[in-house]
């Protein structure tokens, strides 16, 4: 249960003055629905209104707050394009206030001729005349206090002005009460950090540009809080899994070695090493929690098979969970050959299986006639009963939530922790494995199976689209299959879709029925149908938003075209490119960019051209990625942080990890004074999923 002290933080933004339906909807788009979301919506710029010069001393293009006497109103005739002008002056010079389409009665009231007024806004010069168009503030002189000296500028969205946003977030900050300190005193003193509340307040009240940097003491403290919450949550989960007794499953080699002999190739060094790591883990009396990181095509599937065979050697069952029907089928097709050769019973169960066939399968599973079950979420439904499930593989693990992994684990014998091997094709830098997978042991498949032809990657401008279509036509005529990935448009799946549909129609005009389209708004079944058509060669071109399934294997696909490649994260480009180069034929990847590229964008695309090593690409991506350039995280499985930036606060990660481990070592249930405060921290950052495992404090 969320501590009461946090209730104000989680109340709706509509509880703030002046926030109703439409504004709340805009806020939701850019920040969220709760006060807390507004607090994490941090300023990216500021407007300094402190300059208050005489008109003759003004610097142009400067924001200033001026005290002027209102003069004549020049009202433009109706229908003319001329603006409404109000002449103002002080004893040194004159300035025009400019308004387009104003309400006349409003201006007459705000700016009565002959009276003094404060006006604040950006001053420009036009034909030698000072001007300010649409001042941000117009107030009588005695109300100077109502004009903020420095105004934070927040990321905006349609329907909300900067001024309104600043006011609303200011109001949200008033609801942010002080919370009991969860950080260690000595750490606070050493780093010179203020309390959480003071730090938050100061982040929202920048006085100078440098106050907006991620490295300020205030932002660093908040980032540390967030990373600590993240590490605590992971550590609680890790301790929870380790607490459960696991089954000791030593490998006799009876099946594993037979399978290795039956494979048409030799294992790579990385595969053999990983299998050894798995043997050690599974032979331990605690449950295995291992992550297998390996690039697309690095050969994770066979490692999964060998680990499942260790369970079968021990008389138990194993399961492989895949995120989609098509991936499940691919795994099944890829593994059933070897399984058959060595006399292991393997079966597949997905949402498509119904009726008698399904009943028979469930009976066999319960009787232990099936050794290995492969499938989608169908494999952990209520009526699916295993004879003795002791080991599970979760493919593309970031596609599954904690609950789903838990549901699968619950299919094992009561009171015994299941051995879990999670797999991911998203290589992430070592520093980040701590933030994402701090609760798991990690194996890396950092060596590709031999004999791959490198992918020819080229970078070119989108304006050459006509040539590209001609080249695509030629490729298809000689039997190639082609992916065409459409631009990722910021924030909007709807717009992604519009772009993809447009390209789809365009390509249909050239290629007719041989083109298919997949996108995120389609039902899983519809997607599968199109993917299958592509896999079987019924269509040659697959136009897609970024939903192309990670791991889908169509060896005949040899061309990957990515529009607006500059908008993707490097890791994402790498993932997409990994769809080709899977067969014996030479593959090509075209990275098309939209307009003139900045230096960073150029550097990133250059890396793509130079290497196919996913781990290297991930490291470089991290180095090159500026704050805000986080588009690529959308599908990468990296956690989204509110304050912390993986790029800027990397050094805090190991610190937070050690802190979390030490705290839980000494206070495993977070029941001490500091422990209780840390619970508040977990709730504040919504990392409280593990709190239920702690004894109540």
Site residues (CB under 6 A) for ligand ADP? 265-268, 271, 294, 296-302, 425, 449, 551, 553
Please say which residue, 87 or 400, places its beta carbon nearer to ligand ADP. 400
Closer to Mg ion by CB, 412 or 551: give it.
551
Torsion sign across C-alpha atoms 322, 325, 327, 329: positive
Which residues contact residue 218 at a Cβ distance below 8 angstroms, ignoring those fewer than 6 apart? 194, 198, 199, 200, 202, 203, 211
Report the residue number, 296 or 617, with the smaller CB distance to ligand ADP: 296
Q: How far is the CB of 267 from ligand ADP (least distance, A)?
A: 5
For 14, 37, 175, 551, 622, the CA distances from 34, given in Å and listed in that order, are 8, 5, 12, 37, 31
Spatial CA neighbour of 496 closest among 635, 639, 640, 327: 635
The DSSP secondary structure of 79-127, one letter per residue, reads T-SPPEEEEEE-SS-EEEEEESS--HHHHHHHS-TT-EEEEEEEEEEET
Distances (CA, A) of 199 to 92, 181, 212, 369: 43, 12, 13, 61
Which of ligand ADP, Mg ion, none is residue 135 near (CB under 5 to 8 Å by kind)?
none
Minimum CB–partner distance for residue 60 and ligand ADP (Å): 59
Q: Which is nearer to ligand ADP, 298 or 635 (CB)?
A: 298
Note whether 278 and 309 are within 8 A (CB).
no
Identify which of residues 585 and 647 has a Cβ nearer to ligand ADP in the complex.
Answer: 585
- Reading the block at residue 164, the tokens are 């309104």
**Element (DSSP H or E) covering residue 492:** none
Min. distance of Cβ 425 from ligand ADP in angstroms? Answer: 6
Minimum distance from CB of 476 to Mg ion (Å)? 27
Which residue's structure tokens are 């696909």?
Answer: 557
Residue 294 interface partner, choices ligand ADP, Mg ion, none, CB cut-off 5-8 Å depending on type: ligand ADP
| Backbone dihedral angles phi then psi of residue 246, each to the nearest 5 degrees | -105, 170
Tell me which residue has its CB nearest to ligand ADP.
299
> Judged by CB, which is closer to Mg ion: 328, or 559?
328
Q: How far is the CB of 528 from Mg ion (least distance, A)?
A: 17
CB-based contact 248:281 (threshold 8 Å):
no
CB of 428 to ligand ADP, least distance (A): 15
Residue 546, binding choice from ligand ADP, Mg ion, none, Cβ under 5 to 8 Å by partner class: none
Q: Cβ closer to Mg ion: 427 or 551?
A: 551
Distance (Å, whole) CA 574 – CA 294: 12
Cα Rg for the chain, rounded, in angstroms? 30
H/E run at residue 631 = none
Q: In DSSP terms, which residues pair with 98 in a beta bridge?
A: 85, 133
Closest approach of Cβ 653 to ligand ADP, in Å? 27
* Residue (26 or 293) nearer to Mg ion, CB: 293
Distance of closest approach, residue 426 Cβ to ligand ADP, in angstroms = 11
Between 231 and 324, whose beta carbon lies closer to Mg ion?
A: 324
Q: Which residue lies nearer to ligand ADP by CB, 119 or 372? A: 372
Is the Cβ of residue 422 or residue 425 nearer to ligand ADP in the bound state? Answer: 425
What are the residues whose beta carbons fall under 8 Å from the beta carbon of 589, sequence distance 6 or more? 455, 456, 457, 458, 559, 560, 561, 562, 577, 580, 608
For 107, other C-beta atoms within 10 Å of its C-beta total 17
Least distance in angstroms from the C-beta of 372 to ligand ADP: 16
Least Å from the CB of residue 578 to Mg ion: 10
Residue 654 CA to residue 378 CA, distance in Å, equals: 38
Residues in contact with Mg ion by CB under 5 A are: 551
Helix (H, G, I), strand (E, B) or coil at 515: strand
Alpha carbon separation from 275 to 196, 310, 627 (Å, rounded): 46, 10, 38
Query: Which residues, including other chains, have CB under 8 Å from residue 500's CB and lie 6 or more apart?
Result: 486, 517, 519, 543, 544, 545
Orientation of helix 300-313 relative to helix 325-341, angle to 10°: 60
Tell the smallest beta-carbon distance from residue 207 to ligand ADP (Å).
Answer: 51
Cα four-point dihedral sign 23, 29, 34, 36: negative
Using CB distances below 5 to 8 A depending on partner kind, what does residue 37 bind out of Mg ion, ligand ADP, none?
none
CA distance 34 to 350: 38
At its nearest, how many Å lie between ligand ADP and the CB of residue 351?
22
Nearer CB in complex with Mg ion: 179/303: 303
The number of C-alpha atoms within 13 Å of 159 and in the hemisphere containing its C-beta is: 12
* CB of 560 vs ligand ADP, minimal distance in Å: 15
**Toward Mg ion, which CB reaches closer, 516 or 551?**
551
């Amino acid at each position: 249960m969320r501590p009461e002290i946090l209730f104000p933080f989680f109340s709706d933004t509509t509880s703030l003055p002046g926030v109703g339906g439409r504004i709340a909807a805009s806020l939701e788009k850019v920040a969220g629905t709760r006060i807390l979301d507004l607090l994490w919506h941090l300023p990216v710029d500021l407007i300094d209104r402190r300059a208050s010069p005489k008109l003759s001393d003004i610097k142009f293009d400067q924001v200033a707050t001026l005290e002027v006497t209102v003069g004549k109103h020049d009202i433009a005739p109706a229908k003319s394009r001329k603006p409404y002008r109000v002449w103002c002056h002080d004893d040194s010079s004159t300035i025009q206030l400019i308004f387009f389409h104003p309400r006349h009665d409003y201006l007459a009231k705000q700016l009565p001729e002959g009276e003094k007024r404060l006006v604040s806004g950006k001053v420009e010069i036009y034909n030698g005349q000072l001007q300010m168009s649409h001042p941000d503030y117009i107030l009588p002189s005695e109300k100077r206090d109502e004009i903020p000296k420095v105004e934070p500028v927040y990321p905006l969205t349609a329907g909300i002005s900067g001024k309104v946003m600043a006011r609303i977030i200011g109001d949200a900050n008033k609801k942010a009460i002080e919370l009991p300190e969860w950080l260690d005193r000595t750490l606070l003193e050493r780093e010179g950090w203020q309390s959480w509340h003071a730090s938050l307040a100061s982040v929202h009240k920048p006085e100078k540009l440098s106050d907006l940097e991620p490295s300020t003491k205030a932002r660093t403290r908040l980032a540390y809080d967030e990373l600590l919450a993240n590490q605590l949550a992971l550590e609680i989960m890790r301790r929870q899994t380790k607490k459960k007794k696991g089954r000791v499953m030593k490998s006799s080699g009876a099946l594993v070695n037979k399978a290795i002999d039956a494979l048409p190739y030799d294992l790579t060094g990385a595969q053999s090493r990983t299998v050894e790591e798995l043997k050690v883990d599974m032979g331990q009396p605690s449950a295995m929690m291992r992550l297998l990181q390996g690039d697309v095509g690095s050969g994770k599937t066979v490692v999964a098979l060998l680990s499942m065979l260790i369970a079968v050697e021990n008389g138990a069952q194993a399961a492989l969970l895949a995120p989609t029907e098509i991936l499940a089928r691919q795994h099944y097709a890829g593994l059933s050959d070897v399984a058959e050769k060595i006399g292991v019973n393997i079966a597949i169960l997905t949402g498509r299986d119904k009726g008698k066939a399904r009943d028979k399968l469930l009976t066999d599973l319960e009787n232990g006639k099936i050794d290995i079950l492969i499938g989608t979420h169908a494999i952990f439904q209520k009526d699916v009963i295993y004879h003795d499930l002791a080991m599970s593989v979760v493919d593309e693990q970031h596609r599954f939530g904690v609950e789903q992994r838990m549901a699968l684990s619950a299919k094992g014998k009561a009171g015994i922790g299941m051995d879990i091997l999670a797999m991911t094709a998203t290589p992430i830098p070592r520093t980040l494995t701590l933030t994402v997978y701090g609760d798991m042991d990690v194996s890396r498949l950092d060596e590709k199976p031999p004999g791959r032809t490198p992918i020819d990657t080229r970078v070119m401008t989108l304006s050459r689209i006509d040539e590209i279509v001609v080249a695509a036509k030629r490729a298809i005529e000689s039997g190639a299959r082609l992916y065409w990935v459409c631009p990722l448009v910021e924030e909007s799946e709807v717009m992604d879709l519009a772009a993809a549909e447009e390209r789809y129609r365009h390509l249909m005009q050239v290629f007719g029925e041989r083109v298919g389209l997949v996108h995120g708004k389609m039902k899983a079944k519809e997607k599968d149908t199109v993917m299958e058509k592509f896999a079987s060669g019924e269509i040659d071109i697959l136009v897609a938003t970024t939903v192309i399934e990670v791991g889908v294997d169509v060896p005949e696909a040899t061309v990957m075209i990515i529009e607006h490649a500059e908008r993707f994260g490097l890791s994402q480009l790498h993932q997409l490119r990994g769809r080709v180069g899977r067969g014996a034929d030479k593959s090509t990847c075209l990275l098309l960019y939209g307009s003139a590229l900045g230096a960073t964008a150029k550097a990133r695309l250059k890396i793509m051209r130079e290497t196919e090593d996913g781990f290297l690409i991930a490291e470089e991506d991290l180095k090159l990625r500026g704050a805000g350039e986080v588009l690529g995280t959308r599908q990468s499985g990296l956690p989204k942080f509110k304050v912390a930036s993986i790029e800027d606060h990397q050094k805090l990660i190991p610190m937070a990890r050690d802190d979390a481990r030490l705290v839980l070592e000494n206070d495993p249930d977070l029941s001490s004074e500091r422990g209780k405060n840390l619970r508040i921290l977990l709730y504040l950052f919504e990392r409280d999923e593990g709190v239920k495992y702690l004894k109540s404090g």
